[in-house]
Structure formats: structure tokens, C-alpha cells
Amino acid sequence: MSVDHKAMHKTVSNVVSNPLHNPPHNTMHRTAMSLRNLTVTFAAKSGNASYTAVKDTTLDIADGEFVSVVGPTGCGKSTLLNIAAGLLRASAGEVTVLGEPLSGINTRAGYMFQAESLMPWRSARDNVMAGLQFRGIARMDAIKRAEEWLERVGLAGFGARYPHQLSGGMRKRVALAQMLILDPKIMLMDEPFSALDVQTRQLMENELLALWETDKKSVLFITHDLEEAISLSDRVIVLSAGPATHPIGEFIIDLPRPRDVAEIRMTPRFLELHEQIWSAMKQEVLKGYQQTRNKLVA
């Protein structure tokens, strides 16, 4: 199994355009976060055998690097992210954050969820200031900073609204401000925009890039959308289909920055990268699709 695994890595390194992890914008070479030999096995529940979601996965994110992880649906991408966040404990392997081993919640990281994560009983402003409140920061100060952040994500004047009074895109902006107000070193994003319509989504992606450009945080971005991954990232990592997911390819995205996610999709280099990554991914997507179909039939 492990021999087989290595062989696959070899074929992959042929595809990689620049095998050295050296994103063009990155001036500091420190590692922000490193996942080492992670294996995640979910304990057997009555009637079900134990399930290995992630197997022997190693992944590094440099300081200020934007890394996307793509893979077929149900391959364990979110599991990987939950481990990085400290919400889930790996069965084997180690997570280090800024050089220190992670135990418990990853306090240096902000997490943006795929599903609705705002507290529905709090107004937009109170949601944004929640993290400051948990840290015991004076109320007036927290309110002031929350208002500033609402303005930065384009929601000035919407602070008094409750989540249900906001559109899906606006709720995502609130979630973004809620995360960024704590100034995390690392941003973990789990398909944050997948529920939005295409236009809103591209708008949000551009804004995310703009916010990221101002103070380059390290980003681990999970998505099943390859175009989104390429247009945002410095590096794209492709995961195999589950169970026992592991990285099968790694691609440096050398597109110039700043980028416009809608426009960059038309450039020849984008298409070239897309084709390369897709050819590596295709097999796995088909495999993943076959598995879900078998599951449905069974």
C-alpha cells in the first residue's frame, strides 16, 4: 500500500510545474501550519465498520500562502479542516501551528463554515463582536471595532439587522467579518461560498482576495470547485477519493496577482493549469461518483 502510494507521488511530481514550494508572493518562508502524517479513523458505530476518512496525509502551509484543497465530494476534505481547527482529533499524526503542536482548539485560526454559522438571535453587529466579547474586551470598544469591520465588508448600516433579515451573501460577509475581527494568523475555509449564486460568489471571492492582499494571512481553502481553487490560490492540492483520502497531486498556481476571479478564468495560463489539474483529478472524481452511486444502490 505504502509502495503504491509513493509511486503515485512520483507520477504527480512530473505534472507539477514548479516542484519547489515557493509561491511567488511569499517573502517569509516560515511554515504557518503543518499537518504531519494525519490518519483519521472514525470508531465503529453499531452495525457499521470503522471508517478511515483520511490516511497518512501531510500538508504544509507557508506563512501568507493561499492553499486550496480540492477533491471529489465526500472525500474527507472537511475532516481535514476540522483537524486543522482542533475541532476534531486525528487518530494518528501531528498538527503544528506556528511551530507549536496543536492541542485543543486552534486559537490562531479563524474558521469559515459552509453552513449557516451565525447566531440567529444576535444582530449582525453582535455577531461580529462575539469573538471580542468572548475575550473579555470592553463592550464599547468591541462595538466600535465591529462597526469598522462591518464597513470593511461592505455592510455599513446593516449592523442592527438579524441574520434572517440579510441575504445569503450578506450573511457570508458577516461571517467573514466575525472571523477577521480577531485577526487570526490562519484562515480555514470550508466551501464558504458554495451556497451562493455565481455572481455573488465571484464578488465574494474578489473581496476575499482583496482582504487577504492587505495583510497576507495563511489560508487553507477547501472546495470541490476546481476553478474557484485555481483563481484564488497560490497552490492547489488534489485529494484522492475516499475512503483513506490522501493528497495525490500538488500544483503551484503562478498566475499574477492581484487577480480578478472572473477575468482570470479566460487567460490561457488558467486554462492550461485547469487542464493539468483536471486530468489528475478526473480519475478520482469518477471513483468518488461511483462510490456514492453504489452506496445509493446498496
Q: Which residues bind another protein (CB under 8 A)?
A: 85, 87, 105-107, 109-111, 113, 115-123, 130-131, 133-135, 162-167, 170, 175, 178-179, 182
Of the pair 127, 206, the CB lying nearest another protein is at 127
CA 234, distance to chain mean position in Å, is 13
| CA dihedral (192, 179, 203, 270) positive or negative | negative
Nearest-approach distance from CB 168 to another protein, in angstroms: 12
Residue 20: Cβ-neighbour burial (10 angstroms; 0-12, 13-18, 19+): exposed
Q: Which residue, 163 or 288, has its beta carbon nearer to another protein?
A: 163
Residue 143, helix vs strand vs coil: helix
Which of 121/268 has CB closer to another protein? 121
Residue in 270, 224, 282, 226 with CA at minimum distance from that of residue 17 = 270
Q: At closest approach, how far in Å is the CB of 190 from another protein? A: 10
DSSP string, 4-39: HHHHHHHHHHHH-S--S---TT-----EEEEEEEEE
Residue placing its CB nearer to another protein in the complex, 51 or 162 = 162
Nearer to another protein, 111 or 270 (CB): 111
Grid cell locating 198: 455565481
Roughly what angle, to the nearest 10 degrees, separates helices 268-297 and 2-15? 150
**CB of residue 143 vs another protein: minimum separation in angstroms?**
16
For residue 235, the minimal CB distance to another protein (Å) is 24
CA 44 remoteness from chain centre: 28
- Please, which residues have CB within 8 angstroms of residue 167's CB and are 6 or more apart in sequence? none
Cβ of residue 70: shortest distance to another protein, in angstroms?
22
For 156, list phi and psi in degrees, rounded to 5. Answer: -60, 135
In the complex, least distance from residue 157 CB atom to another protein, rounded to whole angstroms:
11
**Judged by CB, which is closer to another protein: 107, or 199?**
107
Nearer to another protein, 54 or 189 (CB): 189
Letter for the amino acid at 101?
Answer: P
Tell me whether the omega of the peptide bond preceding residue 256 falls within 30 degrees of 0, making it cis. Answer: no
Least Å distance, CB 114 to another protein, is 8
Residue where the block lists cell 478526473: 282
